[in-house]
């Protein structure tokens, strides 16, 4: 999802320069904007701007709250958003979330061992449920065997035993 913010240059320039500004000629901003061919409203792509700075932003809406708590009205949902934002910033839980996400994508130590063990156990259970027809395609079985051999080789290279 791309987030855009529409800005109205007329309002911004009028607020910043209420009496216009001086260049080689005086320009009345209201008249300039009134007679300009542009509507002076431009959308900014937040995601692209942030990506250029290696940053992300999360945006929550009243609709997000109402999707989880349809019993609330919009005003209550707004209060939930404000409280969540304030708690989020005050308690720095976002740092814990970032760490947990990092550990999920790139686990290390005992966490990595548990995660890999669960995946191997799931694969074994899946293997047990396959029918004889699933093993009747030699190329398919050879492909899986080849990938298992690569995995085994990788584990041996890092100190594991076959």
pLDDT at residue 78 tops 90: yes
Q: Is residue 85 part of a domain?
A: no
Q: Is residue 22 part of a domain?
A: yes
Q: Is residue 38 part of a domain?
A: yes
Chain segment 17-49, per-residue pLDDT in tens: 888 877 777 777 777 777 766 666 677 788 888
Give the residue from 62, 58, 81 showing the smallest Cα distance to 70.
62
**Model pLDDT, residue 40:** 66
pLDDT at residue 122 tops 70: yes
**Model pLDDT, residue 72:** 92
CB 70 within 8 A of CB 64: no
Average model confidence (pLDDT) across the chain: 81
Q: Is residue 98 part of a domain?
A: no
H/E element holding 42? strand 41-45
Q: Is residue 147 part of a domain?
A: no
Q: How far apart are CA 149 and CA 154, in angstroms?
A: 9
pLDDT at residue 91 tops 70: no
Average pLDDT over residues 106-115: 86
Q: Is residue 13 part of a domain?
A: yes
**Model pLDDT, residue 37:** 65
Residue span of the structural domain in which 37 resides = 4-52
Q: How far apart are CA 140 and CA 134, in angstroms?
A: 8
Q: How far apart are CA 100 and CA 86, in angstroms?
A: 21
The H-assigned helical ranges of 56-108 are 62-68, 74-91, 93-105
pLDDT at residue 98 tops 80: no
Q: How many domains does the chain have?
A: 1
Q: Is residue 16 part of a domain?
A: yes
Q: Is residue 111 part of a domain?
A: no
């Amino acid at each position: 999802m791309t987030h855009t913010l529409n800005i109205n240059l007329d309002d911004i320039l009028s607020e910043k320069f209420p009496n216009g500004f001086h260049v080689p000629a005086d320009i009345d901003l209201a008249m300039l904007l009134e007679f300009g061919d542009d509507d002076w409203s431009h959308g900014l792509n937040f995601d692209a701007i942030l990506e250029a700075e290696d940053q992300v932003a999360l945006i929550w809406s009243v609709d997000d709250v109402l999707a989880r708590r349809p019993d609330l009205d919009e005003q209550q949902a707004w209060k939930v958003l404000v409280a969540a934002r304030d708690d989020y910033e005050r308690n720095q839980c976002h740092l814990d979330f970032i760490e947990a996400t990092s550990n999920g994508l790139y686990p290390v130590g005992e966490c990595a061992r548990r995660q890999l063990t669960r995946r191997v156990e799931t694969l074994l259970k899946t293997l047990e449920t396959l029918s004889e027809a699933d093993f009747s395609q030699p190329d398919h079985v050879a492909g899986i065997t080849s990938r298992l051999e690569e995995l085994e080789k990788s584990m041996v290279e890092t100190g594991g035993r076959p």
